[in-house]
């Protein structure tokens, strides 16, 4: 296995409010092959999101693989409602950074070059 | 219903603008409907609570002038939802005044519909006592909270817009609305498939955001047939791809396959996205599943006090090392100094440390490393005067605080500004974000028709 950073596998990594009380995280992969491989290995799971954001796993409200967009989406409870006292990010748009440091164990023969769909 | 409907979405939010070339291109396609979503809950609770728009008046007026002129001259129905941003009564009135101004300036005349979305407190209390609300664990609802809310709106579905169309309105200006409603109502009225109409509305409400490169300040054209819809951006430098359109369904939603809204949810489990050509995408297979009850989403905000902030930087490594203790002790001194004059339960003192965990707060996992910190001292209190006083006291106390190991004794904070403190005005918090079951989705959104509106006194 070789470790490849999510930043090399994805073309979009972002966070945003899904309403004022939930924070949603999107990973959109660069191509079909990468997405299928990550999905097959279940490399992105609720436990990973829970660990990255150190929240209990039950606060990861959903984790969905969405084939048409080559995307994985996870939604967590916001620590505080958007714009409430002491809250830090009204739009929730800068909460994605922990995902940028994630490395995924890909099979040794995985090669992203020349794998266009 | 045999014909393909064309829907023009000029901009993601009224006031965000659009290039004139895209607009002209859109009109040249002879659209059956022009629609725009004018609001969002994203900018936070202040705008709903205070009755202010988060969009700029000049920007909104600039966009509206194009929309109104074309709608009236070419007799194209125009729908505007979530007027004034938050869609309360004062927001609707704000937008209505801009519409009136343009109407007078341009000498226009049309049948205008106004649809209110502010729900009166008595109604909300009735629903509460009748047990019509679904509970929300994040936000307990009770009589006290309902009474504290300074403004309560409900997101209307397509039904009130359809009522306005039935009554012959040419321009429909509505308060808070479920974003896709402004796009879906006209096709629904004409008998098109609700699932496709709503899904198309979901994409068009963000205009060209679903294209590549995405933009909230550019137009998109939608085509709706009996069993498909298509989308194409109007600027030649953008294109829609199956991936860009599919990915848009992720945006600001919890689950891309199931999108709840008034009356039911869109089910995308069987949806297909196919390229028609280089720039246009066709979507099929989306289904609509009605819920057993028709639920409206209510949004409310209450005043939480008044805010004052002070901004400073810290460069001394010993001070940075001691920050946790310093903050604790300054906080204690604030409480000690005003003991007996203000109840500690009535105010909040916050210290935000940028460079450490200012952005992520409790979610931050990276240990602090750095040579300087950005500090915001924040006081929220029952009056502006108290917020000013508490912030000022916390700031002066921290400036001269004698912390453990201090070597620099002239002052602890680098202020970029004089004055160092900023009075921020009223602070609001969301205190209602709940679903309520209703029997008639039209009942709570009164439609007022003004025939032959020429921009006169409203």
Q: What is the pLDDT of residues B87-107, one digit of tens each?
A: 999 999 999 999 999 999 999
Tell me the shortest Cα–Cα distance from A82 to chain B, in angstroms: 6
**Distance (Å, rounded) from C-alpha B347 to C-alpha B326?**
20
Q: What is the pTM of this model?
A: 0.94
Average the pLDDT over B248-272 and give the result: 92
Q: What is the pLDDT of residues B7-42, one digit of tens each?
A: 999 999 999 999 999 999 999 999 999 999 999 899
Interface of B with A (CB under 8 A): 41-46, 136, 138-139, 242-243, 246-247, 249-257, 268, 271-273, 304, 348, 350, 352, 358-363, 365, 380, 427-430, 433
In chain A, where are the structural domains located?
2-82
User: Is the per-residue pLDDT at B440 higher than 90?
Assistant: yes
**Is B384 in the same domain as B245?**
no
Q: What is the pLDDT of residue B14?
A: 97
**Is B343 in the same domain as B289?**
no
Q: What is the pLDDT of residue B417?
A: 98
Total number of domains in chain B: 2
Q: Does A54 touch chain B (CB under 8 A)?
A: yes
Residues in chain A with CB shorter than 8 Å from the CB of B141 are none
**Is B269 in the same domain as B339?**
no
Q: What is the pLDDT of residue A112?
A: 63
**Is B22 in the same domain as B60?**
yes
Q: Which CATH class is domain A2-82?
A: alpha beta
* 8 Å CB contact of B433 and A17: no
User: Is the per-residue pLDDT at B137 higher than 90?
Assistant: no
**Is B372 in the same domain as B240?**
no
Q: Mean pLDDT in runs of 10 for chain A (117 residues)?
A: 94 95 96 96 97 95 95 95 96 97 92 53
Residues in chain A with CB shorter than 8 Å from the CB of B256 are 64, 66, 69, 71, 73
Q: What is the pLDDT of residues B374-404, one digit of tens each?
A: 999 999 999 999 999 999 999 999 999 999 9
User: Is the per-residue pLDDT at B73 higher than 70?
Assistant: yes
Tell me the shortest Cα–Cα distance from B40 to chain A, in angstroms: 10
| B399-404 contact pairs (CB < 8 A, 24+) | B401/B326, B401/B329, B401/B330, B403/B318, B403/B319, B403/B322, B403/B325, B403/B326, B403/B329, B404/B322, B404/B325
Chain B nearest-CA residue for A68: B246
Give the domain range for residue B150. 5-299+433-453
Residues in chain A with CB shorter than 8 Å from the CB of B240 are none
Q: What is the pLDDT of residues B155-197, one digit of tens each?
A: 999 999 999 999 999 999 999 999 999 999 999 999 999 999 9
Does residue B422 form part of some domain? Answer: no
Chain B nearest-CA residue for A50: B363
Q: Does A53 touch chain B (CB under 8 A)?
A: yes
**Is B254 in the same domain as B383?**
no
Arithmetic mean of pLDDT over chain B: 96
Q: Which residue, B275, B211, B210, is CA-closest to B242?
A: B275
B40, B16 in Cβ contact below 8 A?
Answer: no
The confidence band for B457, taking pLDDT boundaries of 50, 70 and 90, is low
Q: Does A87 touch chain B (CB under 8 A)?
A: yes
Tell me the shortest Cα–Cα distance from B247 to chain A, in angstroms: 5
**Is B237 in the same domain as B358?**
no
Q: What is the pLDDT of residues B283-342, one digit of tens each?
A: 999 999 999 999 999 999 999 999 999 999 999 999 999 999 999 999 999 999 999 999
Tell me the shortest Cα–Cα distance from A60 to chain B, in angstroms: 11
């Amino acid at each position: 296995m070789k470790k490849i950073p999510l930043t090399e596998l994805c073309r979009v990594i972002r966070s945003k409010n899904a309403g004022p009380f939930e924070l949603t995280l999107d990973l959109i992969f660069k191509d079909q092959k990468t997405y299928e491989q990550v999905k097959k290995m279940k490399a992105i799971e609720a436990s990973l999101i829970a660990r990255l954001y150190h929240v209990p796993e039950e606060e990861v409200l959903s984790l969905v693989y969405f084939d048409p967009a080559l995307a994985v989406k996870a939604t967590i409870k916001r620590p505080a409602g958007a714009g409430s006292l002491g809250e830090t990010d009204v739009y929730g748009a800068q909460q994605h950074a922990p995902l940028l440091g994630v490395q995924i164990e890909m099979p040794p023969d995985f090669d992203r070059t020349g794998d266009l769909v | 219903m045999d014909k393909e409907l064309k829907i023009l979405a000029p901009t993601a939010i009224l006031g965000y603008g659009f290039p004139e070339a895209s607009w002209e291109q859109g009109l040249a396609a002879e659209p059956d409907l022009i629609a725009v979503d004018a609001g969002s809950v994203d900018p936070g609770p202040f705008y709903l609570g205070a009755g202010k728009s988060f969009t700029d008046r000049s920007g909104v007026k600039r966009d509206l002038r194009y929309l109104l002129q074309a709608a009236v001259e070419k007799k194209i129905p125009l729908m505007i939802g979530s007027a004034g941003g938050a869609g309360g009564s004062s927001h609707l009135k704000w937008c209505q005044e801009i519409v009136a101004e343009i109407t007078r300036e341009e000498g226009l005349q049309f049948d205008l519909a106004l649809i209110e979305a502010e729900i009166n407190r008595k109604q909300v209390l009735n629903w509460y006592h009748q047990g019509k609300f679904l509970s929300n664990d994040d936000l307990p609802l009770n009589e006290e909270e309902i009474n504290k809310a300074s403004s309560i709106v409900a997101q209307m579905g397509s039904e009130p817009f359809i009522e306005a169309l039935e009554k012959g309105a040419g321009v429909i200006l509505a308060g808070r609305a479920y974003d896709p409603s402004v796009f879906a109502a006209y096709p629904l009225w004409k008998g098109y498939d609700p699932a496709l109409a709503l899904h198309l509305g979901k994409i068009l409400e963000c205009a060209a955001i679903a294209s590549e490169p995405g933009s909230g300040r550019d137009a998109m054209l939608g085509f709706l047939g009996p069993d498909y819809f298509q989308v194409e951006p109007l600027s030649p430098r953008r294109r829609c791809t199956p991936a860009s359109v599919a990915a848009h369904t992720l945006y600001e939603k919890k689950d891309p396959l199931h999108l709840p809204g008034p009356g039911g949810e869109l089910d995308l489990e069987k949806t297909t996205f196919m390229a028609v050509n280089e720039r246009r995408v066709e979507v099929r297979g989306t289904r609509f599943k009605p819920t057993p009850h028709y639920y409206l989403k209510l949004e409310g905000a209450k005043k939480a006090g008044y805010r004052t902030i002070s901004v400073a930087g810290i460069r001394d490594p010993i001070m940075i090392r001691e920050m946790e203790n310093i903050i604790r002790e300054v906080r204690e001194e604030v409480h000690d100094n005003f003991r007996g004059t203000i109840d500690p339960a009535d105010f909040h003192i916050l210290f935000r440390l940028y460079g450490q965990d200012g952005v992520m707060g409790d979610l931050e996992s990276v240990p602090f490393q750095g040579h300087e910190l950005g500090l915001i001292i924040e006081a929220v209190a029952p009056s502006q005067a108290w917020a000013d006083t508490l912030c000022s006291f916390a700031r002066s106390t921290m400036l001269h605080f004698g912390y453990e190991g201090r070597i620099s004794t002239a002052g602890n904070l680098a202020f970029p500004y004089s004055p160092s403190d900023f009075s921020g005005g009223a602070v609001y918090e969301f205190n209602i974000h709940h679903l309520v079951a209703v029997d008639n989705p039209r009942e709570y959104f009164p439609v007022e028709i003004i025939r032959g509106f020429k921009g006169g006194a409203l």
